[in-house]
A and B are shown apart, each in its own frame.
Chain A
Amino acid sequence: MDKQKLIASLNEIVGPDNVLSSEMDLMLYSYDASLDKAKPDVVVLPDSTEEVSKIMALAYKEKIPILGRGSGTNLTGGTVPIKGGIVVHFSRMNRILEIDYANRTATVQPGVITLDLQTEVLKKGFVYQPDPASQKVSTIGGNVSENSGGPHCLKYGVTSNHVQGLEVVLNDGTVINTGGKARDNAGYDITALVVGSEGTVGLVTKAILKLERAPESVKTLLAIFDAIEDGANTVSAIVAEGIIPATLEMMDNTVMRAVEETIKVGYPLDAACVLIIELDGMPEGMDDNASKIVEICRQNHVRDVRLAKDEAERNVLWAGRKGAFGSVGQVRPSYLCCDGTVPRTKLPEVLNQVIEIGKKYNLPIGNVFHAGDGNLHPLIMFDERDEDERSRVLKASTEILKACADAGGTISGEHGVGMEKLKETAFIFNECDLEFERQIKRAFDPDDIINPGKMIPANS
């Protein structure tokens, strides 16, 4: 379809104010938080499911690539339109449609910011558990598509475990509902398939999310170590002891220093790493569990274990953790985050390999990650403008993911494959696995117009 005609048709659907097509606007939708870039042909900002359905039907009829975008904070090129086409920006569809405490659900549009929903339900003593570090800005649509996780997902599970139903616009514009307020619907679990599909099977226009009562009490510990190995061994030992805290996060010296530049948390800057360990639930038995954890830390040569004495202290500890990615900008302008995940017993070993890889390529690497889940996030720091450095970074990243896969792990724990890790899927999938995924994709999108070129490598 001719571009002017396309724009005219979209104008009719959403009104000209909500169709962006200037060269500047296209450039501004060419990126996300990853390193990739590609321009769309046009950007639309719909306001309703009906509009999205019409946009999709148009794309289907004309075989134009189309993809959804929330806040564009994904780290793997998920919203980069490598085949051009239409970008559907969900920023205007940001209404919390209903909070139904009796049924413990919240129904929201995809553009709702995760934290906004959480703040709202907390007023009534409820929580929506998934807490990606980007919760201040990420949207529910993005969380659903990437199956995002966060510190508390150790105990409570990732986004997938908290989505009860979705409204999805299919390739031809058909609107379907999966799941619902009632659980255990008959038939295939389409909800589970759409969650984590990286926007490749349809556009999500509504989500029914599960709410839970906020835990009665919370205890947050900061364990300080003089050697990374000790911290890593502690993590493995806590899990092996059969203790699943609410969170078990690790942060190394490099990252602590960077964070301290912007947020004054009071991390011990002379320590090698810290663990942020949080317990929650009923207060009964919590002290015992905490003492057990402290004992394990001691066995692993902890320097000191501090207890957050109030909500304010706890908040500042978390502000530091959640701000960690961004703050590495204080060290070098760009970073690449490897999202490799390993069985928890392999943590010390793989962490060592990561450090070695950093040395080999002469790149600074900071570590801040969901240790309890075995979900590493080595942040390789560099300057995107330096071509040589950039190519070393890509090599190092591939090598790190290989190390994770070799340890029985996987290449992505929560950020997705996107376009950044297509090649690395070979570390974990064989041709049969990939073919099965392609079949799933074909079932939803036989013409390959929905976020094409992502998640599954093309047939070789």
Chain B
Amino acid sequence: MVDDTEKFKNLSETLGEAHVKTEPKITAQYTVDNVVPRAVVFPKNTDQISEVVKFANRENLAIVTRGSGTKMAMGNPPRKLDLVVCTSRMNHMLDVDTSNLTMTVEAGVKFRDIQARLATQEDRCYLPLGDLEAEGDEIICSDRSHSGCFVPIDPPYADKATIGGIIATNSTGPRRLLYNLPRDCIIGIRVVAPNGDVLGSGGKTVKNVSGYDVSKLMVGSMGTLGILCETTLRMLPLPEKMETLLVSFANFSDASAFAGRIFETSLLPAAVEIMNGEAFGHLSLDDKPDFGSNGYVAAIALEAFEPAVDRMRIEMLNMAKEAGAGANAVFEEEDHRSFWLAMSNLSATLDKKFSGFIKAKLNYPLSMWKNIIASGESIFSEANLDYIVQAHAGNGICFTGLLVDNNDTSATDKAVEAMNQLLAYCQEVDGNLVIQSAPADVKSNLRIWGKIGFDFVVMKRLKDQLDPKGIMSPGRFVEGL
């Protein structure tokens, strides 16, 4: 193995020796799909990132950016990897302007800290503050703006993910039904471009059409067009009341009929999540009601004014009954928050339990959701696989995970085959299936990004133009961009 210490000396001078790691013992902890980087760097601000990228340009080094590492399993294995740039030290909230309902933070700030910062005097927060656990020597933000606001994003790994990672992967969750997507709440960014330039777009105004919308271009771009360093987000006041309705159904057909009824009204639930018993069973939550493991569970998030929540509860429980519901449960406030945190951590939980866990995100035109889930159910049960299904009803998004053990090669083969079949079905209905995580050695048998649209020509042109040397996350994104 080459000793890279000398090579990275320059960088050490800029960042400080402690923040440039080349020891194999450490770099091994930062592999991306089993590829070990030559160095891991920990810049402390945007200017330092700019220096790192300029250095990489000179030396022709391939960079992968990393936040908390919750979603490093996304994407194709890197074509080349030299530097992992960790944003963990970029954890400052630069401007929390609750009167303007905007905040500007560095990319390494954790989502949970943002929410904690916005909690009320009484510690009412969008996340269940009591359930949050810090790792190692970290602390959870204890500074309070007392504003009673929140940033309306509902990502997976809500207690660990950094805001940079959430944006770069366009992470969304069930409550996008009411609050929309990260792309809708980002109003400004500062980015280090592939050539090392620091550039900004947008700002603290909620509306802006001066120039191309670089902020939105960066959302979901997986770090292939630059490194997101700072972002300005808009926030909303915390809902007056938060409540969850859990309703069990004997099968998907009843559960989906229930969801269908809801969407015929003008009620405004924050989420209508339909999951199978398997998924519900794996939620790591205290005092989980026992709904049995065979049927389906509908979880409705209600976040609104108190009288509106009351009305929705009454009307929806009635609709549920008409749709043939079994048991139900209602979670209020902190229990509500704990429930949705557990939802956001479902894949993390399963990842730990099943070494060969394969998770996919499906998208399709809204009206196709019943067909998609029916088709998934039949493909998976035919292959005799254990699986979870979790549909964000009303959004045209569904997650599914195959619970396999990596050592069980026959199950793994069947899982791969099943995912490929489901992808084919999604394509048939103008949708797609994207693998969100899979063991590195299985990835080569999967089409990680699924079907690529006609606009790939433009994506390619953009990538070639903005990153001509191909140093930003080479190979990981669609069609190996």
Contacts and interface: CB of A to CB of B under 8 A. Distances in A.
The answer to A–B direct touch (Cβ < 8 A) is yes
Interface of A: 100, 102-105, 146-147, 149, 153-154, 157-158, 160-161, 168, 170, 174-190, 192-193, 195-197, 213-216, 236, 239-244, 281-282, 284-286, 288-289, 341-345, 370, 373-375, 408-417, 421, 425, 428-430, 432-433, 435-437, 439-444, 455-456
Interface in B451-481: 451-459, 461-462, 464-466, 477-478
Contacts of B203: 408-410, 428
B199 to A, nearest CB: 5
Interface string B216-239: 110111000100000000001110
> Main SS of chain B's interface residues?
loop
Contact of B97 (A157, A196, A342, A345): A345
A192 B170 CA distance: 13
B207 A440 contact: no
Given A185-B453, A193-B216, A410-B203, 12 more contacts: A160-B216, A182-B364, A182-B365, A187-B452, A187-B455, A188-B221, A190-B455, A236-B99, A282-B308, A410-B205, A413-B209, A428-B203
B363 A288 contact: no
Given A183-B396, A185-B432, A432-B197, A285 B304 contact: yes
Contacts of A193: 212-213, 216-217
Residue among A284, A288, A425 with most chain B CB within 10 A: A284
Nearest to A101: B367
Given A411-B210, A433-B200, A192 B205 contact: no
B161 to A, nearest CB: 17
B453 A436 contact: no
Nearest to A417: B210
B268 A182 contact: no
Contact of A344 (B100, B148, B363, B367): B100
Interface of B: 97-102, 147-149, 170, 172, 180-181, 183-184, 193, 197-214, 216-217, 219-221, 225, 236-238, 240, 266-268, 304-308, 310-312, 361, 363-367, 395-397, 430-432, 434, 449-459, 461-462, 464-466, 477-478
Residue in B98, B172, B206, B214 whose Cβ sees the most chain A Cβ within 10 Å: B206
A429 B208 CA distance: 13
A342 B217 contact: no
A348 B7 CA distance: 55
Contacts of B363: 182-185
29 contacts: A103-B367, A157-B184, A160-B213, A161-B180, A177-B454, A180-B365, A182-B363, A182-B365, A183-B363, A183-B395, A185-B432, A187-B452, A189-B216, A189-B221, A215-B266, A239-B100, A242-B148, A242-B237, A244-B236, A284-B308, A341-B205, A344-B100, A408-B203, A413-B205, A425-B210, A425-B211, A428-B210, A432-B199, A440-B462
A214 B100 CA distance: 28
Nearest to A213: B266
Nearest to B450: A186
A434 B440 CA distance: 39
A6 B205 CA distance: 45
A192 to B, nearest CB: 3
Contacts of A184: 170, 172, 181, 361, 363, 397
Nearest to B449: A186
Contact of B434 (A146, A186, A436): A186
Q: Residue among B238, B304, B305, B449 with the most chain A CB within 10 A?
A: B305
5 A-B pairs with the lowest CB-CB distances in the bound complex, closest first:
A285-B305, A242-B237, A192-B216, A284-B307, A284-B308
B461 A443 contact: yes
A444 B221 contact: no
Q: Which of B183, B310, B361, B477 has the most CB of A within 10 A?
A: B183
Given A187-B459, A236-B99, A416-B209, A103 B147 contact: no
B397 to A, nearest CB: 6
Nearest to A185: B453
A170 B454 CA distance: 12
Contact of A153 (B207, B312, B365): B207
B308 A176 contact: no
A102 B370 CA distance: 13
Contacts of A413: 205, 207-209
Choose among A170, A433, A456 the residue with the greatest number of B CB atoms under 10 Å from its CB: A433
